[in-house]
Amino acid sequence: MIRTVWSALWSQWRRNPLQLFTLMAGLALATALWSGVQAINAEARASYDVAAATLGEGQFAQILPSEGGAIAQETYVKLRRAGWLVSPVVEGRLAGVRVVGLDPLTAPGGLGPVRFAQGADIIPFLSGRGQVFGGAEALDALKGQTEADLILSPDVAPGTVLTDIGVAQRLLDMPGQITRLIVARTQPLGRPDLATVAPGLTLRPPQGGSDIGRLTDSFHLNLTAFGLLSFAVGIFIVNGAIGLAFEQRRPMVRTLRALGMPLGQLMGLIAVELVGLALLAGIVGVALGYLIAAALLPDVSATLRGLYGAEVSGTLHLRPVWWLSGLAISVGGTLAAGAGAMWSLWTMPLLSSAQPRAWAMRSGQAAAVQGALAVGLLAVALGLALTGDGLVAGFALLACLLIGAALLLPIVLRLVLAGAERLAKGPLAQWFWADTRQQVPGLSLALMALLLAMAANVGVSTMVSSFRLTFVGFLDQRLSSELYVTTDSAEQAAALVAWVTPRVDAVLPIQSSQITLAGRPTDLYGARDQATYRDNWKFLDAAADPWDQVAAGAGILVNEQLARRSSLSIGQTVDVAGQSFVIVGVYGDYGNPIGQAIITETVFHDLFPQITAQRFGLRLPPADVPALTRALTDDFGLPAANIINQAGIKAFSLGVFDRTFTVTTALNILTLSVAGFAILMSLLTLAGMRVPQLAPVWALGLTRAELGRLELVRAVLLAILTAVCAIPLGLGLAWVLLAIVNVAAFGWRLPMYLFPWDYARLVLFALVAAGLAALWPARRLARTPPTDLLKVFANER
């Protein structure tokens, strides 16, 4: 019996290979997009990690010699043996270039920002002559200094080169020496104290810095949302394919049941069949996703992982998770997409008509239900947008908005097309509009997929671009000093101020204290009254002349997170260490998880006399930066890791964004291709139904070529209409991501900017996708032999 069922199920696919192909391809593409996004997220995170490590700031704790000098290699080995997950870094200057040597096998994130140029591979990096990665200028400066291969890698911070630790030790003539150790974020429990294993070393906790990592968390959350959306687009295709297949299965199911097959067992077998197909497509999809990610981010860490697999520390658990989540989402998506079809098979009465219903011709009643559902969902979305709060509400809003809009799309399209038909002048135009309207139900799943794909693209482009604008503006404001230097003690700080003051335009001390403000943990900063702040800071909301009021002593500035969470606004009074201040400004502080406030330096010193600044911003002409950096290390003796060049951070973050742009553009094109594929499959499925609809028009005096052209125009036109609907939907999506999800998740709101040219380009992409999808069916139609068209009118055939 079971074998009969299997062969019956399989024979359906054999008779409809196109359906099977649509199902598998849709599922594989959906899974590929999802896992590709996941991989890109993981890779991007690794890049930030290594950047943070090489820039010597950010999220990683570091171990440094207490007295200056170097760490011996044996000390490093001792620490590793004792269980400390640390990675050695050798750092120094050669010909004016900062040389950073890393151990790619233990460094967090491998060598993230470095990509292998064509023809290069990991072996020479690890052994032999070695490879040195850097920007063009840095590599030029090193020419003739080393016999290692110089590899152009624009992602490395300016003035810096990255290389393997062994190569760096040779280059810098520091055999067996280590400058500092990067401490991985998670450490094994029960490892001995640093002081017991390696006296003479100090652990420096991670520094707030520019919070690239935390800021980008928000970005990754949004990118993940995009991945889910891409997946949803694919699931629309799968849903269509399964729905059609199950419609055609009705008679067979009836026959099998009449033969005595229990319904439960039959459904079980169908479920097993679906899961099997989903697993198969999922494997293809995950592999495809890996290829996508590898093509988009061909950097060292991916290669490392590929080469070493489970051996590379920190990535040990990554790959199985990746595979499993890809397969899980493929199976889950298939079951979700198939649930409706399974349900209608389950509830199908044994004796009703065995005629498969034409899936394209849904009844008017179904359309009314769909419309009501759409309006209901959109109403819920509106309600959530007005009153909702929190992450769950944000995602519920997203779901209601997208599903509601997708369900509404066919109804809107039919209304628009009916209007166009009424306005049409000639008979052909009238027929064209009427006929297009008739095609909407059959194409609606594909058009919904296109709508979601485009909305996701508009939303993500808006989000990424807004993010970039905000982030760059924010960095300009926050990193307005040319150099940032950190000292290790109050004495060193005093010496540095004395040494550096005559050499720069201004020294801006960075000093803060952890306090509780309006009931929340807050970093309170004391800022010097200086033009740098007045010129560069932008406020979300401010009283008149905020910096004057701060300088006068009674004014305080708070960050957005604090203002939102504690409902603070301009003019309100807050208490700091027993003294009250008036809020005179609220500023954006992207990426910071906790509250922050600023008062003037003099008052800060009165309130917290024990705190002295150990970090400083230095203002100087940008042209003098390299010379001063050299003098700081060579003459004053500050370790290079204690000096941050803001231009480097900015260039790096722009690099990260530009790479992200490449990735999102590629994903945009991929998602649109998936939607285009859905359109193609729908058109091919509908092609059989088209001939009877077109034959009368042909007989009345149109050529087949004209009909083919009109088919193409029709597809493009539907794509245009869908695109027009997708833009507001995409902007809504971006708004929800930026203004609701982000605020709920991180406490700050990203401003939203509009990018009309990007949208225009997306519409163009969508038209190209739809046009390409329609090209083949249209050509086929234009070449239909007249006898095939004439068969429509003959009774006997």
The site for other proteins (CB under 8 A) is made up of 426-428, 430-431, 434-435, 437-438, 692-693, 695-697, 699-706, 786-787, 789-790, 792-796
Q: Minimum CB separation from other proteins for residue 430, in Å?
A: 6
**C-beta of 365 vs 787, nearer to other proteins:** 787
Q: Minimum CB separation from other proteins for residue 687, in Å?
A: 16
Tokens of 762: 């997306």
CA distance 444 to 450: 10
Q: Minimum CB separation from other proteins for residue 683, in Å?
A: 17
Give the burial class of 635: count Cβ atoms within 10 A of its Cβ; 0-12 exposed, 13-18 middle, 19 or more buried.
exposed
Checking DSSP bridges between strand 615-619 and strand 573-576, what pairing results, if any?
A: unpaired
Q: Minimum CB separation from other proteins for residue 432, in Å?
A: 9
Q: Minimum CB separation from other proteins for residue 790, in Å?
A: 6
CA distance 246 to 10: 13
**C-beta of 69 vs 786, nearer to other proteins:** 786
For the stretch 569-578, what's the b/e string if a residue is b when 16 or more beta carbons lie within 10 angstroms of its beta carbon? Answer: ebeeebebee
Tokens 């922050």 -> residue: 596
**C-beta of 369 vs 699, nearer to other proteins:** 699
**C-beta of 157 vs 697, nearer to other proteins:** 697
Tokens of 760: 């225009």
Q: Minimum CB separation from other proteins for residue 696, in Å?
A: 5
Give the burial class of 198: count Cβ atoms within 10 A of its Cβ; 0-12 exposed, 13-18 middle, 19 or more buried.
buried
- Among 108, 162, 81, smallest CA distance to 304 is for 108
Q: Minimum CB separation from other proteins for residue 374, in Å?
A: 24
- Among 599, 532, 530, 587, smallest CA distance to 561 is for 587
Number of residues written out for the chain: 797
What value, to the nearest 5°, has the Cα angle with vertex 748 and ends 746 and 751? 130
Q: Check residue 740 and report its DSSP letter.
A: I
**C-beta of 637 vs 786, nearer to other proteins:** 786
CA distance 718 to 458: 18
Tokens 């950190």 -> residue: 486
**C-beta of 581 vs 698, nearer to other proteins:** 698
Give the list of residues 6+ apart from residue 520 with CB closer than 8 angstroms, or none: 562, 565, 566, 594, 595
**C-beta of 426 vs 688, nearer to other proteins:** 426
Q: Minimum CB separation from other proteins for residue 244, in Å?
A: 21
Q: Are 412 and 722 in contact (CB under 8 A)?
A: no
Q: Minimum CB separation from other proteins for residue 426, in Å?
A: 7
- Among 322, 465, 455, 335, smallest CA distance to 399 is for 455
Give the list of residues 6+ apart from residue 243 with CB closer than 8 angstroms, or none: 340, 341, 359
Give the list of residues 6+ apart from residue 93 with CB closer than 8 angstroms, or none: 99, 630, 633, 634, 640
**C-beta of 647 vs 792, nearer to other proteins:** 792
- In single-letter form, the type of residue at position 205 comes to P
Q: Minimum CB separation from other proteins for residue 412, in Å?
A: 19
**C-beta of 271 vs 782, nearer to other proteins:** 782
**R_g over Cα of the chain:** 32
Which residues are 90's β-sheet partners?
A: 101
Phi-psi region of 695 (alpha: psi -120 to 50; beta: other; left: phi over 0): alpha
**C-beta of 502 vs 785, nearer to other proteins:** 785
Q: Minimum CB separation from other proteins for residue 238, in Å?
A: 30
Q: Minimum CB separation from other proteins for residue 320, in Å?
A: 54
**C-beta of 386 vs 794, nearer to other proteins:** 794
**C-beta of 347 vs 795, nearer to other proteins:** 795
Phi, psi of 19 (to 5 degrees): -65, -45
Q: Minimum CB separation from other proteins for residue 411, in Å?
A: 17
Q: Check residue 198 and report its DSSP letter.
A: S
**C-beta of 424 vs 570, nearer to other proteins:** 424
Checking DSSP bridges between strand 97-102 and strand 160-164, what pairing results, if any?
A: parallel
**C-beta of 343 vs 793, nearer to other proteins:** 793
- Among 508, 607, 608, 600, smallest CA distance to 553 is for 600
CA distance 40 to 271: 32
Tokens of 78: 């001792």
Q: Where are the alpha helices (DSSP H) in 259-361?
A: 263-296, 300-308, 318-346
Q: Minimum CB separation from other proteins for residue 765, in Å?
A: 30
